[in-house]
Structure 1
Amino acid sequence: MLSHVDTWVLDLDNTLYPPSTGLADQMNTRIREYLSTLYAVDEPTARDLQAQLVADRGTTLRGLMNTMGVDGVFDVLAAGLVPKPFPDSYRQFLERFEVVPGRAALFDDLAVNLTAFLYSLTAPAVRPWTM
């Protein structure tokens, strides 16, 4: 069934390990602690700020970079920190690593990311955990 696949693309959070490990929760706690320190606010305000950054920019990191004028940063997306499911993040990833979409399989825990990958790249995708 997947014999044509020669590239495996793995989303890390809640994909290579079950959500029951709580790793994503731990990461979010650390992010909120950082926001709380950075902006000198309490935890509920940091939680609201994080939610707004994600809603506006796709990720907390991209939101901070945009609002604080940080540029010249390269992250694992190699896509100007344009997060999934934006098609441009997939396009830049494919170009950077010379991935042929029809020969790639994406493992991701969020259906919206799988849909975007399929729609943008017509590559097979698998969601390993039942959420």
Structure 2
Amino acid sequence: MLADIDTWVLDLDNTLYPAGSALAEQLTHGILSTLAQYYATDLAGARRIQSELVAAHGTSLRGAMVTGTIDPQDFLGFERRIDYSVIAPDPAMVAALAALPGRRYVYTNGSAYHAEQVLERLGLTDRIDGVFDILAGELIPKPYAESLDAFLDRFGVDPVRAAMFDDLEVNLALPHERGMTTVWVSAGTPYELLAERRWRTTDLPGFVRANI
């Protein structure tokens, strides 16, 4: 079914580990705390600002860069205070990625540092051939075309021979238009064909086992 795929593109947060995890809570708190300090507001005000920044610019970081003068490294500094031990090794995910033929990349709107910490905790470091983060994309996030083009160019990916997994459907629309097979990892039915070369699953390892 996916025999023509030789490149696997994997989102990180809420895709390689479950949504609603303790790590996700720390990320949210870190972003809101950073925004609260930068914009001199409380957490409620930071949440409103975050919603506005994400809606207009794709991520809080890019929004803060476009509308202000925050240094990206300062913004991402909260990641150094995250307790990554809340993420446990995932043997099922390790086995699933090991079964994927060809190259495997993480494509994330987070930082490479964050990705490296998560991959190490999951036991996936040796299963990934490269990480493309928000800094590699010059702060332009998914789902913008500039980000996708930079990712494809960086690793020489042929979209027609690639499959992309992401928990946000909006991030998969453009890759699908470019010819990629897409898998939306979200709550819902365990295994669903939405359209030609468009899938939805609640279980990434299970999807891989069923299709590889």
TM-score range relative to shorter protein = 0.7 to 0.9
Ranges in structure 1 where 5+ consecutive residues have no aligned partner:
none
Q: Which has the higher contact order (CA 8 A, sep 6+)?
A: 1
Report the CA distance shift for 1:72/1:103 in structure 2 as closer, same or farther (over 3 A). same
CA contact (8 A) 2:159 2:175 kept: no
The residue type paired with residue 2 of structure 2 is: L
Q: Percent identity?
A: 47
Q: In 2, Cα distance between the equivalents of 1:128 and 1:100? A: 22
- TM-score, length of structure 1 as denominator length: 0.85
Q: Does the C-alpha gap of structure 1 residues 108 and 53 become closer, same or farther in structure 2, counting only changes over 3 Å?
A: same
Question: What SS is found at the alignment partner of 1:127?
Answer: strand
Please give the root-mean-square deviation of Cα atoms over the aligned residues, in Å.
2.1
The answer to whether the aligner puts 1:79 opposite 2:142 as a matched pair is no
Unpaired stretches in structure 2, ≥5 consecutive residues: 74-110, 112-132, 189-212
1:25-45 alpha-carbon deviations (Å, 9 max, x no partner): 321111001111222211111
More strand by share: 2
- In structure 1, what is the Cα distance between the partners aligned to 2:30 and 2:187? 26
Call closer, same or farther: CA 1:93–1:27 in 2, change over 3 Å: same
Going from structure 1 to structure 2, the CA distance change for 1:128 and 1:4 (only over 3 Å counts) comes to same
Pairwise mapping of residues 27-106 of structure 1 onto structure 2 (< 5 A)? 27-69=27-69, 76-77=133-134, 78-106=136-164
Compared CA separation, residues 32 and 90, structure 1 to 2 (3 A): same
Q: Look up the match of 2:168.
A: 110
Q: What number of residue pairs does the alignment pair up?
A: 129
Cα distance in 2 for residues equivalent to 1:72 and 1:13: 19
Report the alpha carbon displacement of residue 81 of structure 1 after superposing the two structures with TM: 1.9
Q: Which structure would you say has the larger Rg?
A: 2
1:3 corresponds to: 3
Deviation at 1:104, TM superposition (A): 1.0
Shift of 1:129: 3.0
1:123 alignment partner, one of 155, 158, 180: 180
Q: Is the 8 A contact 1:18 1:129 kept in 2?
A: no
Q: Aligned AA for 2:162? A: A
Residue 72 to residue 21, structure 1, CA distance change in 2 (3 Å): closer
117 and 21 in structure 1: CA distance in 2 versus 1, 3 angstrom threshold? same
Post-superposition CA distance 1:6-33 (Å, at most 9, x none) = 1111111111122132433321111001
